[in-house]
């Protein structure tokens, strides 16, 4: 369903001001060196600010921010289980909404759910779909590091084709992950929610503008954030942002948004890099042959073409 | 005005929930619980109840949303049965360990497989250790009133735990019974507004559900155990209050028939009504037999039970669930452990009856007593009504 | 390995909640570091990028207008050095 949602009034983040916006995740968290996931999560909270309630699925971000008696959270935070961040967020939203209506809560805070790719695309898929479909006013953020990292790098449905993980290992009889990455943003967009976007910490203003828009819309919003994991991908910590940028610049992880059903690419890449540049710096892809890489390149090109067609097909007709 | 009506018990429970003024109801349809939440969603749709009704996509999410809403400081209600309760299993522990009050009606139903929509207690017996206060009701009036009591118990600052109100599926949930519905003001007087101790509030940021490292997990569990054990006194207090307010006579453990008889039948839930008839009939025939009814299952009121069973030589314990691999049903196990090592321990004879909706007529209870007294029942347990070639 | 308790059960918050927001900052993750970022003050153009990309949220603007990490938290990942457009940061072995 296409509808017009005007987000032109939403304030944009100025690059030079980001460092003055406080992250609601404190220093002293226990993420690995060079973790792109906690960085992305921090960026989201820099925009959301202190008037926010966070619901966290079980996973790396939950573990590294909350080992008792220490919490890295400066905002109210709840972790219940692995597969239910969407449902917990729905309950929090409904609870606060009812109390607000009855005059017991003065203001509706931002409600943000964080889940990894396993919590989002696999085990928590149903509860997320339910929360999106029912129209709760919340933002669900998938921090996608493309495998179950917290339990030791097992494949998820969000692991890309060709990646070697501990449960999709490459070997003489296998390329590693032999399925294609589940397209979560498009699946959520198909729910007809007002706002869906992809983002990457390599493009902070793009990411943060999307957070602001997601929080501004009435109803459910979904952000799918590319989250480099040096530990799980076999990459150097210092390269996390560089790799995230390569994912965007190779069109392997294009940055786009879907507002009221209309697709639009938010970061157009002028000189698209070959996927090889992105793959070769990661141990999880080290075993790939030239033929494999050519096959992956074809997939990237096809998916990007599909995205462009979606943009064209859903674009607002030019006014006369 | 106090109303006296004939109504399906599920609808009476929905009325009770409405009068408890919950902020959030989060539920998924499952037979035989559905009539309760259908009615509640209608109240919300008609503007008769100011609450958020979340029609979740599974029972796992029903309980997850209930936890989220309770953590937000809302008064929360849900209802389920059987497979739905089983699907909630994981989150039930988390609700109690986060010390979040909420009320859940369980319309008790058998657990698959084979799939059965009919009544027994196998659903709730698989949830004995979830750390919730667990009550069993016998009739419609009690279902109504214990719903209010459940909110009051769970929200008491000395408890702060979720409460499950068990009511037999179909044989109670779908019965048309006469019930007395008091005025709203009476309910308001009995059940004050919920004042959460901790909630998700940006003005005072709390971290709920942090990682229970080995240095704290045990202490966290202990805190919950103490709260649950301590809830017994509060349940007693709330029942006393309820008795005064609504003119009842509810207790943790109740007795009927000859309180000094050598043989007593032990029941939990609505079979107690049939047993009551059986006991009255036997007493009328001049036969000495008594009945002990368990209303509070968790925490188990051991002292009260021992007191109620004083002088008994034999307990005929009716279980409504099989506990495979253990040698008897769950209630019998409980009582064996309660009496273990006591010189006054009665013989415990276990009959597992009414499984998967199997009918147990009043006359069967008379027969059970006769067989128990003659030593004709198995030492372990008897599967009542089993069709066997042996 | 036996783990000792850190809190009597009676002293735990309800449901083992934590009521001291952001108290993880007491954990000095700087201990994890082997390489330390060193700033060449001449090269820095105060673009703020290092502060944006630091996953420890520990780089901030100092009185002199330069951006420096709080070494209590810097894990030495090297992202700041890698992302600095002026190559003003170098990662060097730290003497501890
Ligand atoms: S990224 Fe480099 S140039 Fe920019 S502020 Fe940091 S040190 Fe200075
Ligand atoms: S090395 Fe890493 S942790 Fe240290 S200041 Fe630079 S980006 Fe932050």
Q: SS3 string of B247-267?
A: CCCCCCEEEEECCCCCEEEEE
Query: Of all atoms in ligand 2, which is nearest to the CA of residue C89?
Result: 6
pLDDT at A319: 62
Chain A hits for B201, CB-CB cut-off 8 Å, are: 76, 105
Yes or no, beta carbons of B198 and C16 under 8 Å apart = no
Q: How far is the CA of A60 from the centre of ligand 2 (A)?
A: 20
Mean pLDDT taken over chain B? 97
Q: Which of C41, C44, C52, C69 to mutate to test the pocket of ligand 1 (most atoms within 8 A of CB)?
A: C44
Chain C hits for A238, CB-CB cut-off 8 Å, are: 77-79, 81-82, 91
Q: How many folded domains does chain C comprise? A: 1
Record: fold of B3-246: Rossmann fold (3.40.50)
Residue-wise pLDDT tens digits, A10-38: 999 999 999 999 999 999 999 999 999 99
Q: Do B270 and B139 meet the contact criterion of CB atoms below 8 Å apart?
A: yes
Q: What is the rounded CA–CA span in Å between residue A196 and residue A193?
A: 7
Chain A contact for B64 (CB, 8 A cutoff): yes
Report the first-to-last Cα separation within chain A, whole angstroms.
23
CB-side exposure of A143: number of CA atoms within 13 Å? Answer: 30
Confidence of residue C1 (pLDDT cuts 50, 70, 90): very low
Q: Which residue has the tokens 């070494």?
A: C71
| Residue of chain B nearest C9, judged by CA positions | B219
Q: How far is the CA of A19 from the centre of ligand 2 (A)?
A: 14
Is 0.90 exceeded by the ipTM? yes
Structural domain including C24 reads 3-93
Chain A hits for B68, CB-CB cut-off 8 Å, are: 55, 78, 80, 87-95
Q: What is the rounded CA–CA span in Å between residue A318 and residue A306?
A: 22
pLDDT at A306: 98
pLDDT at C96: 66
Yes or no, beta carbons of B205 and C21 under 8 Å apart = yes
Distance from CA of B134 to the nearest CA of C (A): 19
Residue-wise pLDDT tens digits, A244-276: 999 999 999 999 999 999 999 999 999 999 999
Q: Which residue has the tokens 């495979």?
A: B324
Q: Which of C55, C67, C79, C89 to mutate to test the pocket of ligand 2 (most atoms within 8 A of CB)?
A: C79
Element (H, E) at B297: strand B296-298
pLDDT at C3: 72
Average pLDDT rounded to a whole number, residues B240-263: 97
pLDDT at B390: 80
Interface test with C, best of A28, A40, A41, A43 (most C CBs within 10 A): A28
Break chain B into its structural domains and give their ranges.
3-246, 253-383
Break chain A into its structural domains and give their ranges.
15-314
Residue-wise pLDDT tens digits, B20-69: 999 999 999 999 999 999 999 999 999 999 999 999 999 999 999 999 99
pLDDT of residue B174 exceeding 90: yes
Six-digit token string for B333: 């196990």
**Class of domain B253-383 (CATH, top level):** alpha beta
Q: What is the rounded CA–CA span in Å between residue B179 and residue B172?
A: 13
pLDDT tens track of chain A, all 320 residues? 799 999 999 999 999 999 999 999 999 999 999 999 999 999 999 999 999 999 999 999 999 999 999 999 999 999 999 999 999 999 999 999 999 999 999 999 999 999 999 999 999 999 999 999 999 999 999 999 999 999 999 999 999 999 999 999 999 999 999 999 999 999 999 999 999 999 999 999 999 999 999 999 999 999 999 999 999 999 999 999 999 999 999 999 999 999 999 999 999 999 999 999 999 999 999 999 999 999 999 999 999 999 999 999 999 987 65
Chain B hits for C14, CB-CB cut-off 8 Å, are: 99, 160, 197-198, 223
Q: Which residue has the tokens 């709730």?
A: B124
A152: left (phi over 0), alpha (psi -120 to 50) or beta: left
pLDDT of residue C35 exceeding 50: yes
pLDDT of residue B229 exceeding 70: yes
* Chain length of chain A: 320
Record: fold of A15-314: Rossmann fold (3.40.50)
Element (H, E) at B207: strand B207-208
pLDDT at B184: 97
Chain C hits for A242, CB-CB cut-off 8 Å, are: 82-83
Task: Classify residue B179 as exposed, middle or buried by CB count within 10 Å of its CB (0-12, 13-18, 19+).
Answer: buried
CA-wise closest residue to B273 among B177, B131, B338: B177
pLDDT at A1: 76
pTM: 0.97
Nearest CA to ligand 2 atom 4: C74
Interface test with B, best of C14, C20, C22, C24 (most B CBs within 10 A): C14
Subunits adjacent to chain A (3 or more Cβ pairs under 8 Å): B, C
Q: Which of C45, C61, C64 to mutate to test the pocket of ligand 1 (most atoms within 8 A of CB)?
A: C45
Q: Do C58 and C33 meet the contact criterion of CB atoms below 8 Å apart?
A: no
| Residue of chain B nearest A54, judged by CA positions | B200
Yes or no, beta carbons of B52 and A78 under 8 Å apart = no
Element (H, E) at B88: helix B82-97
Element (H, E) at A125: helix A125-133
Yes or no, beta carbons of A97 and B52 under 8 Å apart = yes
């Amino acid at each position: 369903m296409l509808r017009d949602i005007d987000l032109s009034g939403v304030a944009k983040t100025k690059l030079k001001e980001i460092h003055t916006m406080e992250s609601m995740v404190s220093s002293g968290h226990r993420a690995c060196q060079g973790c792109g996931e906690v960085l992305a999560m921090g960026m989201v909270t820099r925009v959301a600010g202190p008037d926010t309630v966070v619901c966290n699925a079980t996973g790396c971000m939950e573990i590294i921010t909350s080992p008792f008696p220490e919490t890295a959270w400066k905002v109210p935070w709840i972790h219940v289980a692995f597969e239910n961040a969407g449902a917990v967020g729905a309950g929090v939203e409904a609870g606060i909404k009812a109390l607000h209506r009855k005059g017991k809560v003065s203001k509706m805070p931002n409600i943000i759910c964080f889940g990894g790719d396993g919590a989002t695309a696999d085990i928590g898929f149903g509860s997320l779909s339910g929360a999106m479909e029912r129209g709760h006013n919340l933002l669900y953020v998938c921090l996608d590091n493309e495998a179950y990292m917290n339990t030791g790098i097992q494949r998820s449905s969000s692991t890309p084709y060709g990646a070697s993980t501990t449960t999709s290992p490459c070997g003489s009889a296998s390329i590693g992950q032999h399925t294609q990455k589940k397209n979560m943003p498009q699946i959520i967009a198909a729910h007809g929610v007002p706002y869906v976007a992809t983002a990457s910490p390599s493009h902070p203003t793009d990411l943060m503008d999307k957070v602001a828009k997601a929080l501004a819309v009435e109803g459910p919003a979904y952000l799918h954030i590319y989250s480099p994991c040096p530990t799980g991908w076999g990459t150097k910590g210092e390269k996390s942002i560089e790799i995230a940028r390569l994912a965007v610049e190779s069109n392997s992880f294009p940055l786009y948004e879907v507002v009221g059903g209309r697709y639009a690419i938010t970061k157009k890449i002028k000189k698209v890099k070959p996927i090889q540049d992105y793959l070769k710096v990661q141990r999880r892809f080290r075993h790939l042959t030239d033929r494999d890489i050519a096959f992956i390149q074809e997939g990237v090109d096809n998916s990007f073409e599909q995205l462009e067609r979606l943009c064209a097909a859903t674009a607002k007709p030019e006014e006369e | 005005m106090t109303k006296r009506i004939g109504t399906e018990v599920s609808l009476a429970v929905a009325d009770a929930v409405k009068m408890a003024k919950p902020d959030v109801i989060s539920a998924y349809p499952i037979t035989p619980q559905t009539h309760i939440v259908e009615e509640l969603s209608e109240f919300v749709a008609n503007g008769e109840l100011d609450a958020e009704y979340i029609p979740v996509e599974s029972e796992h999410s029903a309980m997850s949303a209930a936890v989220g809403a309770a953590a937000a400081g809302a008064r929360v209600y849900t209802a389920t049965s059987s497979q739905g309760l089983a699907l909630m299993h994981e989150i039930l522990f988390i609700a109690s360990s986060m010390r979040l009050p909420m009320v859940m009606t369980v319309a008790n139903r058998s657990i698959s497989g084979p799939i059965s929509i009919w009544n027994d207690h196998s659903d709730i017996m698989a949830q004995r250790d979830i750390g919730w206060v667990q009550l069993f009701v016998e009739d419609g009036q009690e279902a109504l009133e214990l719903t209010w009591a459940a909110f009051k118990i769970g929200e008491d600052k000395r408890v702060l735990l979720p409460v499950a109100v068990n009511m037999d599926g179909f044989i109670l949930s779908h019965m048309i019974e006469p019930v007395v519905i008091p005025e709203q003001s009476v309910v308001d007087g009995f059940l004050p507004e919920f004042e959460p101790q901790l909630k998700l509030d940006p003005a005072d940021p709390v971290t709920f559900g942090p990682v229970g490292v080995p240095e704290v997990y045990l202490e966290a569990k202990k805190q919950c155990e103490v709260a649950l054990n301590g809830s017994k006194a509060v349940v007693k207090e709330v029942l006393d209050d309820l008795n005064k307010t609504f003119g009842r006579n509810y207790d943790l453990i109740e007795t009927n028939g000859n309180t000094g008889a050598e043989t007593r039948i032990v029941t939990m839930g609505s079979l107690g009504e049939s047993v009551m008839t059986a006991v009255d009939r036997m007493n009328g025939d001049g036969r000495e037999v008594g009945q002990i009814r368990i209303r509070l299952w968790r925490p188990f009121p051991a002292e009260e039970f021992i007191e109620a069973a004083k002088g008994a030589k034999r307990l005929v314990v009716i279980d409504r669930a099989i506990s495979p691999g253990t040698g008897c049903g769950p209630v019998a196990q409980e009582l064996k452990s309660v009496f273990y090592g006591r010189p006054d321990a009665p013989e415990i004879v276990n009959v597992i009856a009414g499984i998967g909706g199997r009918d147990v007529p009043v006359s069967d209870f008379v027969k059970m007593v006769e067989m128990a007294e003659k030593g004709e029942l198995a030492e372990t347990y008897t599967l009542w009504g089993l069709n066997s070639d042996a | 390995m036996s783990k000792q308790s850190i809190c009597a059960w009676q002293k735990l918050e309800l449901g083992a909640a934590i009521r001291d927001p952001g108290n993880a900052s007491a954990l000095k993750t700087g201990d994890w570091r082997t390489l330390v970022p060193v700033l060449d003050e001449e090269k820095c153009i105060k673009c703020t990028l290092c502060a944006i990309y630091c996953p420890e949220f520990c780089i901030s603007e100092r009185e002199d207008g330069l951006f420096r990490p709080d070494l209590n938290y810097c894990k030495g990942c090297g992202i700041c050095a890698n992302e600095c457009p002026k190559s003003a940061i170098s990662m060097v072995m730290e003497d501890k």
